[in-house]
Structure 1
Amino acid sequence: MATRSTSTPTQPGVASTLPQFLRQDRSTLVNKFNYIENLQRERLTEQYDNPEKETEWTRLTGNHIAYRNRYINVEPFADNRVKLNVAEGFNDYINASPIALGPRHYIATQGPKDTSTSQFYRMLAQETESDAPAVVVMLTKTHESGREKCFKYFPESQDTPLDLHPDPDLDDGFEGQVELLSSEEDAACRCTVRHLRLKYKSASTEDDQWQQKDICHLLFVGWPDFSVPEGENRNAMLNLVAKSAELNKPADVPCGSHFSLDAQSHKPTGVGSSPRIVHCSAGVGRSGTFIALDFLLAHLSRGNLESVPDDEDPILDTVNAMRRQRMMMVQSEAQFLFLYDVLRLAWSEKHQTIDAEP
C-alpha cells in the first residue's frame, strides 16, 4: 500500500518521542483504514467467485446457520469458528470466532439472541477452564435506537434464575440454570459487575452429575454502536480493559522484546488459558476495538513499542490480523482512528511518568 509518510506536529519534550506510527496524520490513517477495507472486500470476493475453494476466508452458507445469526452479513469464517460439542450430524454452529493475538486468546461473538442463549452458555462451559471463572465483557445495551442489540441473557435478581432447556436441534442433553450470586456497580469502570453461576449437565456428564461454572459478567453501556466512548466513558472503558485482564489473568506478552503478532499454534492450558469472551451486538466493531486495545496496551506497558521501525505500524497489523480471523473487526473508521488516539495518549502518559520518577 502506498501512503504518504506524514507526521502530526508534536510539542517539544515528551511528545516528540512518539514513534512514527503514532505521528501519522488523519488523512494517512484514513487511507490505511480504506486499505484494510479493500483487503476485506478482496477476500470475500475471492470466496464468492470461487465457492469451491477452501481458503482462510471461506464464509459459511446455508439455512442451518442463518437463523442463528443476528445480522445476515456478519458470520465467522468456516475454518476459524467455535464449534459446539454436539452429536455427530447435528448443528454445531454458533456465531463466535476464536481470536489469537500473540499469547493472548479471546472469543469474539455476537450478542446472544433469545434463541441462542443456551448455545452461548454451552460455549462458556466448553471453551473455558473448569477451575477458573469465565470472564465475559458485554459492550452494548440490550436495546439501542428502539432495536434489540442483545437479548438479556442473564438474570437480574437472585430470585429469578435463568433456565436453560434441552435443545432438540443439538441433541446433546445440555440443560441447566444460571443464577445471580451478586451484583455491584464499579464506578471506575462505569460497569455493572455480575457474579453468575451456571449449573448444567449434558449427555456426556458422568453419573448424571451437575457441573458448575462461575462467570464474571462485566456490562459496559457507555459505548454507542459504530462509535467510540467519549469523555469519562472513554476513561472508564480503559479501566474496564485493565479490570477484565486482571480477572481473566491472560498470558502476558513477552517483556522487552519487539512487537510481535505470532500466536501460539495450540490452545493454551494452565494459568490464563481461558479466553476472554467479548461481545457487543454483532461482535465485530466494539468487540474488535476492545480486543485490539487490550493487546496493544499490554505491549505498550511491557516496553515493546519503544523501538518500532518507522516503516511498521503495530495498530494496522493488529487490526489486519484480527480481520483474518473474523470479518469487520474494528468496523468503523472512527473506531480505527480511536486506537491511535488512545495509544498516543497512553504513550505520552507513560513517558511523562517515567520522566517524573527520581
Structure 2
Amino acid sequence: MTTSFDIKRPYSALSKRSRSTESNRSNSSQSARKASEERMDEAYCVPAFLRLSRQEILEKFHELEWQQRDRILESTREPDPDSLWAVEQTADAKARNRYTNVLPWANNRIHLQVPPEHCDYINASPIILSKGKKYIATQGPKEGQFSHIWRMIWHETANPAVIVMLTQTWEAGRDKCFQYFPEDLNTNDELTINDDDEFGDGFKATVKLLSLSQDVASQSTIRKMLLTVNGEQKMVWHLLFSGWPDFCIPEGENQSALLRLIKMSEDYNNVGSPRIVHCSAGVGRTGTFIALDHLLQELDSGSIEEAINKEPHFDPVFDTVNKLREQRMTMVQSDSQLAFVYQVLREKWLEKKTIAPSPEVTEEVEPRPPGAFPED
C-alpha cells in the first residue's frame, strides 16, 4: 500500500542566508541612492523644502488639514456671515452643490449676475496668488444647472476665455460632471443655454463648436467654441485633460502632458482674465493644477530662490497651498497630490540648475529617477 504525503521543502540556513543577502543588497542600493541624492542636493543647492522626505510631506499635509478643520469648526460653532470662513446654508445654495462637504467660503465666491430676487449662488471661487494671474476654481456643472457656468464665463472672463477641465464626465462608474459643452462636430446644432429663462432677465445664449482637435503632447482634447449672448460673441477655448484619475496623480508621460497643458492654457488665455479650472469637486486636481501653475512661474522668475535666500526654511509649496485653502476649502485634496507638487518643483529645480552644470560635479552625480522621493 502506498501512502502519499505533502512534502514541504525544509527551511534551510541556505535560504535564510539568501534572503539576508537580498536584504543587504536592497539596503545597500537604497543607501547608495540616498548618498547620490545628497550629493546632488549639495551640488545644485537644493533648498530645504525640496529635500523633505515623504513622511515629512505627510506631516505638512496633516498640518494643512488641521488648519482647515479649525476654519470649518469656527464657521459652525459661531455662525457669523462676516467671518472669512462662513459658508452658504440656504436651501437653494445646498441644492446647487455637487458634494455636501465641498463649499466655497461665502465671502470669497463668485456671485452670478442675476436679478436681486433670485439666488446668485454658484459653487465657484475666485483665486489670486500673484499679480497678473487669476483663476476661478469651480465644481463640475450639475445637470439642470449647467447654464450657470456659461453665465459666469460670460460675465467674469475676457475674450477669449479658457476653461481647463481635469475630469471626465464619467469616472469609475460615477457621474463626475455634466456634459455642458458640444461634444463633436458631427452635428451643426448649437447648444442652447437657458432656453427657459430661469432668472427672468432675458439671458439666453448659444454655444457653437468651431473646431475639435487632439493635442498628443498635452493629452488634451481642444475645443474652440463660440459663445453668443443676445447677439454679442465671445471665443471660448475648452481644454479637456485625459491623464488624471480622481484622487491620483499624473505619472510618466501624463506628468509631462500636464505641464504642457498648464503652459498651453496660459498661452490661449487673455492676459489678466481668470482661467476657469474645474474637476468634479473643484478642489483636488483643480487646486493642484493652480498650485503648480503659480509655483512653476515663481521658480522660473527666480522669486522662489530670492525668498529662500532671505529665509532658508521658507516652504513656498506649503505657503501656496495654505493660501489656496484660505480662498477655497480643501484645495490640493490629498497628501499624494501635495507630494506631487513637491516632486515636480524638485525636478524642475534640478532641471534649471543642470542646464549649465558645474564641471567639478558632472561626473560624480548620478541622474535622479523621475518621480522618486528622498528616502524616509
TM-score calculated relative to the size of structure 1: 0.85
Q: 2:189 — aligned with what?
A: 160
Q: Whole-Å Cα distance in 2 between the matches of residues 52 and 223 of structure 1?
A: 38
Task: Say how many residue pairs are matched.
Answer: 318
Structure 1 residue 168 displacement after superposition? 5.0
Tell me what 2:164 maps to.
137
SS at match of 2:39: coil
The structure 1 residue matched to 2:137, chosen from 99, 108, 131, is 108
The structure with the largest helix share of the pair is 2
Matches within 5 A, 1:1-358: 10-13=37-40, 16-52=44-80, 54-103=82-131, 104-129=133-158, 132-158=159-185, 159-201=188-230, 210-248=231-269, 272-307=271-306, 308=308, 309-355=311-357
Q: In structure 2, do the counterparts of structure 1 residues 13 and 67 end up closer, same or farther at CA, with 3 Å as the change threshold?
A: closer
Instruction: Work out which of the two has the higher radius of gyration on C-alpha atoms and give 1 or 2.
Output: 2
1:43 match: secondary structure: helix
Residues of 1 paired with 2:206 and 2:293: CA distance?
Answer: 31
The one-letter amino acid of 1:342's match is V
Evaluate the alpha carbon distance shift between residue 108 and residue 167 of structure 1 in structure 2; reply closer, same or farther with a 3 A threshold: farther
- CA gap of 1:94–1:47, structure 2 versus 1, over 3 A, is same
CA–CA distance in structure 2, aligned partners of residues 319 and 354 of structure 1: 31
The equivalent residue for 2:371 is: none
Q: Do the aligned partners of 1:154 and 1:162 also contact (CA within 8 Å) in 2?
A: yes
Q: Match of 2:236, as an amino acid?
A: I
Q: Cα distance, 1:151 vs. partner?
A: 0.8
Q: Which runs of 5+ in 2 are unaligned?
A: 1-33, 360-376
1:84–1:94 Cα contact (<8 Å) kept: yes
Structure 1 Cα separation of the partners of residues 184 and 313 of structure 2? 53
Q: Structure 1 residues 158-167 or 326-335, which shifts more? A: 158-167
CA distance in 1, matches of 2:146, 2:301: 38
**How far 1:305 moved relative to its partner?**
1.8
Unaligned 5+ runs, structure 1: 1-7, 202-209, 250-271
Residue identity opposite 2:289 in structure 1? F
Assess if the C-alpha contact under 8 Å between 1:90 and 1:171 holds in 2.
no
Q: 1:157: how far off?
A: 2.7
CA distance in structure 1 between the aligned counterparts of 2:223 and 2:244, rounded to whole angstroms: 19
Contact preservation (8 Å) 2:44, 2:350:
no
Question: What is the distance in 2 between the residues matched to 1:356 and 1:128?
Answer: 46
Query: What is aligned with 1:255?
Result: none
Q: CA deviation at 1:176?
A: 1.2
Distance in 2 between residues matched to 1:287 and 1:172, nearest whole Å: 31
CA distance, structure 2, for counterparts of residue 16 and residue 152 of structure 1: 47
Equivalent-residue separation in structure 2 for 1:85 and 1:53 (angstroms): 21
Instruction: Tell me if structure 1 keeps the 8 A contact 2:139–2:282.
Output: yes
CA–CA separation in structure 2 for the residues paired with 1:111 and 1:354? 43
Residue 310 of structure 1 and its aligned partner are, at CA, apart by: 2.1
SS at the partner of 1:163? strand
User: Over residues 183-227 of structure 1, what are the superposed CA-to-partner deviations in whole Å (9 max), with x where a residue is unaligned?
Assistant: 1111110101100011112xxxxxxxx111110000002101111
Bigger mean CA deviation after superposition, 325-334 or 48-57: 48-57
Closer, same or farther: CA 11–52 of 1 in aligned 2, 3 Å: closer
The TM-score, its normalising length taken from structure 2, stands at 0.81
Contact 2:80–2:86, Cα closer than 8 Å, also in 1: no
Q: Which amino acid aligns with 1:218?
A: L
Asked if the contact 2:162–2:237 (Cα under 8 Å) also holds between the matched residues in 1, the reply is yes
Q: Could you tell me which residue of structure 1 aligns to residue 25 of structure 2?
A: none
User: Displacement of 1:341 after TM fit?
Assistant: 0.3
